[in-house]
Amino acid sequence: MNESRSLVGRRAGKARRYVIASCAFACLPLAAACEKEPPKTVARPPAEVTVLKVEPKDLPVSFEYVGRTLSSHQVDIRARVSGFLDKRVYEEGSIVEEGKVLFLMDQKPFVAQVNAAAAALERQKAAHETARLNLERTKPLAALNALSQKDLDDATGFFDTTGALVEQAKAQLETAQIDLSYCTIASPLKGITSDAKQQDGAYVNPLNSLLTTVAALDPMWVEFSISENELSRYRGQAEKGQIRSPSDLNFEIEIILLDGSVFPHVGHITYVTPSFSELTGTFNFRATVENPKLDLRPNQYVRVRLKGAVRPNAILVPQRAVRQDAKGNLLFLVNKEGKAEIRPVILGDFMGSEVVIASGLKAGDVVIVDGGLTVRPGDPVQVKAASASAPGDK
């Protein structure tokens, strides 16, 4: 039994040695072939890229903010005397001219006051005339000692008193006439009217004297705010010469309406608040713009575009040319040997689909715009097209 097992083991061992030897002889030709033919490296063809040659130019700069339109002259129309409101004689929401009658109040009590004041004035005039005649008679008699000095003094005093009463009566008559004129309530300016706050027949007094409002539409005001950070950044750039303001800071104000259209009239800044708002940390600005066709109405929200500043020798590249890594923003450039190289850059303001390069580029640099996604530093590239940078929004 043991001899049988030993015989089987010897036969299995010979079989294994035979298989190993066969595999070794089979691999010899392959090893020899590998030594004779080293692997071939296939060179990548140069990537085709679109480039842009950097040419610094003066770039017009604009700034946009959210604004709100306001009437440049808005007046509350109030009753100046107490009485019954007879009639509203304007159409609510209509445009009225200066001097247009808006309301009529009951005039009868005020006409009576005028008549009474006029009668009182005539009575005082008559008394004053009597005093004058009496004084004229008293003076010569007193000079002849026919009347005492007291009589002369009394006549003079009565004349002066009646004269003062005449002036008082004139003032009372004028007051009554003014009150009567307040019964006809007219618009002090050209503008658009609001709804009537009081209806016909209402009794108007100081507690409910507001009747309506008239708001001028030409010119219009546009208010907007600029944050302290934005102003600080702008001043810093101006001090460094990175931006140039218009003379006398006379920015042009362009109004962009809700539908994206540009309002045809340009405005200018006419007022700046003297201090920052403690609630919002912003400066409030007011611009005045002509509105001859009355297209703008109060309390519209618009975009305000400040124009007039210039960024001298600005470098502008398409945003799609900029890449990012862990260290920041970078561009791929084509060097003099026709190979790609990396250039770290600092970005400035975004202008539509383009961006200002604040630092990192100079005139004559060739920036890869398209086709550089597979390019690595040092790779040769083939320029497919070239263009000069042109400032302006895309």
pLDDT digit string (tens) for 134-150? 999 999 998 888 889 99
pLDDT value, residue 91: 95
Q: How many percent of the chain have pLDDT more than 70?
A: 86
Q: 271-322: per-residue pLDDT in tens?
A: 999 888 888 889 999 999 999 999 999 999 999 999 999 999 999 999 999 9
The whole-angstrom separation of Cα 214 and Cα 196 is 11
30 band by pLDDT with thresholds 50, 70 and 90? very low
- CATH 2.40.420.20 residue ranges of the chain are 48-57+314-388
CATH of domain 48-57+314-388: 2.40.420.20
Packed helices 108-143 and 149-181: angle between N→C axes, nearest 10 degrees: 160
**pTM of the model as a whole:** 0.71
Evaluate if residue 259 carries a pLDDT over 50: yes
The percentage of the chain sitting over the pLDDT mark of 90, rounded to a whole number, equals 61
Per CATH, is 62-72+217-311 categorized as 3.40.50.150? no
Of 234, 229, 233, 231, the residue nearest 245 (C-alpha):
234
Mean pLDDT over each residue of the chain, to the nearest integer: 87
Question: Given this model, what pLDDT does residue 38 score?
Answer: 57
Residue 117: CB partners within 8 Å, gap ≥ 6?
A: 169, 172, 173, 175, 176, 177
- Alpha-carbon gap, residue 389 to 56, rounded angstroms: 8
Residue 287, pLDDT score: 96
Top-confidence residue, 108 or 274: 108
Q: What residues does CATH 2.40.50.100 cover in the chain?
A: 79-213
**280 or 212, which is more confident:** 212
Q: Which of 35-44, 169-178, 318-327 has the highest mean pLDDT?
A: 169-178
- Residues 325-377 have pLDDT tens digits of 888 999 999 999 988 999 999 998 888 889 999 889 999 999 999 987 888 88
CATH architecture of 79-213: Beta Barrel (2.40)
Cβ atoms within 10 Å, residue 331? 23
Q: Per-residue pLDDT tens for 175-209?
A: 999 999 999 999 999 999 999 999 999 999 999 99
Residue 327: predicted pLDDT: 85
When pLDDT is averaged across residues 47-67 and rounded to a whole number, the result is 90
Q: Give the Cα separation of 306 and 250 in Å (integer).
A: 10
The confidence score (pLDDT) of residue 297 equals: 94
Question: Where is average pLDDT lowest: 115-119, 122-126, 140-144?
Answer: 140-144
Nearest to 311 by CA among 243, 241, 252, 224: 243
| Greatest mean pLDDT range, 167-176, 231-240, 347-356 | 167-176
Sheet containing strand 346-351, edge to edge, reads 316-318, 354-359, 346-351
What is the model's pLDDT at position 172?
Answer: 97
